Amino acid sequence: MDIKEIKSVIEGLLYVAGDAVSLKELSHVLAIDESTVKKIINQMMDTYNEDKRGIQIIEVNSSYQYCTRPEHYEYIERLVKPQTRQGLSQAALETLSIVAYKQPITKAQIDYIRGVKSESSISRLQDKELIFEAGRLDSPGRPMIYCTTDNFLKLFGLKNLQELPPLQETSAEEA
């Protein structure tokens, strides 16, 4: 297979899958090593973006997935249905950003950083599948620990947790 055909096959695969397909699976199905597949997909992602295609490829934790472009939102919504989108409250976003950086983290630790109770934020984030209960800490009270999901990465356009911007050591002037 030449590169053009590989790309063509990948298109078909991503289309059929709908969901994210891991690099590993793609490599297996194509019988091509992962690093080559990765290179080819990266080229495809660029082409899709340059050509302003109606579908784009996003990467989430070494998996790839098709999705539409945010700028076509209004048309697509007209065809499908208004997605049940209630944005996230400030409290939920704060909680989410703390979990993102500090995971795995307990509720008590989140409360401590925010200075307020985060219970309801945590349960809303769980409902939205942005964080999940990753187990219990082996310490007194065996508190639940929380981590972010792949869905979190997807919804925030992050490839992986390493892509989180480094937190700045802030100083007062920046305020």
Q: State the residues that interact with a copy of itself by CB under 8 A.
A: 4-5, 7-13, 15-18, 21, 25, 28-30, 52-55, 66, 68-69, 72, 75-76, 78-80
Residue 95: Cβ within 10 Å count: 29
Residue 3 interacts with which of other proteins, a copy of itself, none, CB < 5 to 8 Å by class? none
Least CB distance from residue 31 to a copy of itself, whole Å?
9
Strand order in the sheet with 21-22: 21-22, 63-68, 55-60
CB nearer to a copy of itself: give 59 or 131: 59
Least CB distance from residue 144 to a copy of itself, whole Å?
31
CB nearer to a copy of itself: give 27 or 103: 27
Least CB distance from residue 50 to a copy of itself, whole Å?
12
Is 151 within 8 Å of 130 (Cβ atoms)? yes
Residue 4 interacts with which of a copy of itself, other proteins, none, CB < 5 to 8 Å by class? a copy of itself
Least CB distance from residue 38 to other proteins, whole Å?
20
Cα 27 vs. chain centroid, distance in angstroms?
Answer: 22
CB nearer to other proteins: give 115 or 141: 115
DSSP 54: S
Does residue 141 come out as left (phi exceeding 0), alpha (psi in the -120 to 50 range) or beta? left
Least CB distance from residue 79 to a copy of itself, whole Å?
5
Residue 11 interacts with which of other proteins, a copy of itself, none, CB < 5 to 8 Å by class? a copy of itself
Cβ partners under 8 Å of residue 30, min gap 6: 1, 6, 9, 10, 37
Closest CA to 105 of 128, 130, 137, 153: 137
